[in-house]
Amino acid sequence: MSKILLLSVFLCCTAMVVRGQEDFTVKGDSLQRTPARTDTAQYVNLGKVAARKAALRSAMIPGWGQIGNGLTVYRGIKVSAIYVGGTLLAMSYMQNNRNYKEFLSEIQYREANNGQSPRGSRFSEYPTSGLITAKDVYRRNREVVLFSFVALYAVNIIEAYVDARLKYFDVGDNMAIKISPSMINSNVRYGYNSFSPALKIGFRL
C-alpha cells in the first residue's frame, strides 16, 4: 500500500513538472519552400550578353556594334557598306523630294491659273496628266527610300547581334568532314545488282 501511494505521489509530481512541446508555427505555405541551392555559381552566356550590347550600340550609332565586336577587315567592309548605302539613300531621297516638289508646285499653279504654266517654266510643254504621273512616281520613290532607310537600320542591328553571337560560338576542335568514294545499289535487273559510283560525305562532331 505504501508503494502504491509513493508511486502515485511521484507520478503527480512528474505530471506537474513536465510541460508540453512549444508551439511550432510555419510562416507561409511549407510546400512552397524551396531548398537552398548548394551551387551558388551561375552560368553566364557571354555570347548573349555581347549580342545584346552589340545590338544596343548599333541601335544608337550604326556600325558601332560591328566595331565593338572587334575591328577586322571584314567588319570594316560591313561598316563601310552601311554608311555608303545610307549616303546613297540620302542622296536619292533629296533628289526625289526636290523633283516631287517641283512637279507639285507646277500642278498647283496650273490649277489656280486655268492650266497656264508660270513664265519661264521648264514644264510648259508637258501636259498636266503627265505632270501628275511624274509627281506620283517621285512621291512613291521617296517613300521607297524611307522604307529602305528603316530596312538598312534594322539589318545593321540584326547583323551586329548575329555577329556577336557567332563570335562566341564554339564548334570545337574535333569537328571534321570526310569525303570518300562509295557505290550505290541503284536497281536489280534480271537477278543482277547494278551499282553506281558516288561520293560519301561524313561529318564528325
| pLDDT value for 24 | 47
Per-residue pLDDT tens digits for 133-179: 999 999 999 999 999 999 999 999 999 999 998 887 765 566 667 77
pLDDT band for 19, please (50, 70, 90 cuts): low
Domain boundary assignment for the chain: 46-170
Q: What is the pLDDT of residue 62?
A: 93
User: What percentage of the chain reaches a pLDDT higher than 70?
Assistant: 70
pLDDT at 95: 96
Nearest to 201 by CA among 177, 184, 172: 177
Distance CA 25, CA 62 (A): 60
Q: Could you tell me if 77 and 66 are in contact, meaning their C-beta atoms sit under 8 angstroms apart?
A: no
Average pLDDT, whole number, for the chain? Answer: 80
Phi/psi of residue 100, each to 5°? -60, -45
Give the residue carrying C-alpha cell 537477278: 191
pLDDT higher than 70, residue 197? yes
Give the span between the Cα atoms of 101 and 123, in whole angstroms: 13
d(CA 123, CA 106): 8
The x, y and z cell numbers of residue 124, run together, are 510648259
Identity of the highest mean pLDDT range in 24-28, 86-90, 116-120 = 86-90
| 195, containing H or E segment | strand 192-204
Interval 39-93: pLDDT, tens: 556 777 788 888 899 999 999 999 999 998 888 999 999 999 999 999 999 999 9
- Ranking 89-93, 94-98, 168-172, 194-198 by mean pLDDT, the lowest is 168-172
Tell me what pLDDT residue 17 has.
Answer: 53
Please tell me the predicted confidence (pLDDT) of residue 180: 78
Q: CA-based angle 88:56:93, to the nearest 5?
A: 20
Nearest Cα residue to 142 out of 132, 134, 130: 134
Contact status, residue 203 vs residue 172, Cβ threshold 8 Å: no
Instruction: Give the predicted TM-score (pTM) of the model.
Output: 0.61
Query: In this predicted structure, what is the pLDDT of residue 114?
Result: 83
CA-based max dimension of the chain: 143
Of 17 and 149, which is predicted with more confidence? Answer: 149
Average pLDDT of the residues in 111-123: 83
Say how far apart CA 198 and CA 125 lie, in whole Å: 70
In the block, cell 548599333 appears at 58
Crossing angle of helices 128-167 and 46-60, rounded to 10°: 150
**Residue 108 near residue 121 (C-beta atoms within 8 A):** no
- Rounded to whole angstroms, the Cα distance separating 39 from 131 reads 75
